[in-house]
Amino acid sequence: MCWWRDWDVLVEGLGCAGGGTGMCCLGWGCSIPGVGESQALLQGPSPGGSHSCFSFVPGLGMDFLTLFLVYLCFVLLVTALLCLCSGRKESFLARNVTRASQVLSLVIPTQLQRVAHRVAHGALHRLFHTRSCLFVVLHIALQAAVFGEYTWEVFGYCWELQFHLLLLLLPYLLLAGNMGCFLLCSRANPGIITKSNHASLVKVYAYDGVMFQRGTVCPTCTMEKPARSKHCSVCGTCVHRFDHHCVWLNNCVGASNAAWFLLYLLSLTATATALAAITLSFLSHVVQLSNLLHSTYLDAQGQEHPVEIPFLVQHLFLTFPRIVFMLGFVILLTLVLGGYSAFSLYLAFTNQTTNEWCKSRRFGVSHHVSSHPPDRQVVYKNIYSKGVWRNLKEIFRPPTALERKKKT
């Protein structure tokens, strides 16, 4: 193995400029393990007019793309399951485990079923419905892995390519801001309702008579619920202007830390976007310098073909496997976080919480609420929205009972 750090040698290996060796250096290694008689040669114009050579395994490009798509789908599926399972008394995953156990009960002994049921439901309950630092540790570990790869390889290569220093330092600056928002949001009091502040919080928001009704008592806290509040079963407390319980923060998002959560989400999205953009820019520079787009290759039958996307992706993966996998994860993360950030901004602009948005989907088709006649259809109307700018101001400066009294 030849461990290169000289950029000229690496670029020469990528395109085999000056040709004639019969093998090209892919990244840091001088050969591809497992490449045998089924190799084909890549030919392309070099600066001196000669042809370059390239080692290629026929069919490996499509196999790699298939595996890479499976990898991306797996990460997306796990992310979707985590979102569906968090913060629900009867989660999507728990229901499907129950259904699967009913099917398997035909072939599995009864005693074994009971043991498996207790273990599975106990593990799911502890994982998603009790406060735990597991997802916080996973969150930090993923960030450490991504930034470790960025620092170890991408930063060094981009520095040799003379990328601007401020551009390369941008992800670290965004990471610092993101970690600050993360700590403030996870450690902050989200707006826990206690007996000492209950009287003042009841006066902050008006009851809409549909989603929030006067006189509703929390059976756990034995206090009247203020409008826009909800009891969190994970934390075991009622939270003022409850949005949702975030397992990644190990804390609820409420009136007191909603602004920090929005900034945390936006900074995390910006961090992932910056990492993806810099990494894509680096790989595009690699392709341009190695002159791969103007090359051709000979397949196993000796026919000449121009370099296509599957071949190019395979080559980049064989050259920079960790960078390509990191890029795939970061791109997927950018898409997921971008969508969630857009949804969170929509909620902020319209002065809604996630809890209220989910509940409002049920009204309009509901035909029975205690304060309305049974035969009258209930249509929910958001009475808390005061315009985009005032709604945003309320996120960053939550109203108090005194402020509301002055306005009225």
* Residues that are catalytic: 246
| Measured distance CA(252)–CA(229) in Å, rounded | 12
| Measured distance CA(256)–CA(211) in Å, rounded | 22
DSSP 168: H
CA nearest 254: which of 241, 264, 263? Answer: 241
| Measured distance CA(185)–CA(131) in Å, rounded | 15
- Both tokens assigned to 121: 């439901």
Give the full edge-to-edge strand order of the sheet including 40-43.
55-56, 40-43, 296-298, 304-306
CA angle, corner 193, sides to 137 and 397, nearest 5?
80
Q: Residue for token digits 């826009």?
A: 228
Segment 55-61 long-range contacts (CB within 8 Å, at least 24 positions apart):
55/23, 55/24, 55/26, 55/31, 56/297, 56/311, 56/314, 56/315, 57/32, 58/299, 58/300, 60/314, 61/310, 61/311, 61/313, 61/314
Q: Residue for token digits 């009913």?
A: 102
| Measured distance CA(295)–CA(40) in Å, rounded | 13
Query: Would you mind telling me the total number of residues written for the chain in this entry?
Result: 408
| Measured distance CA(208)–CA(182) in Å, rounded | 33
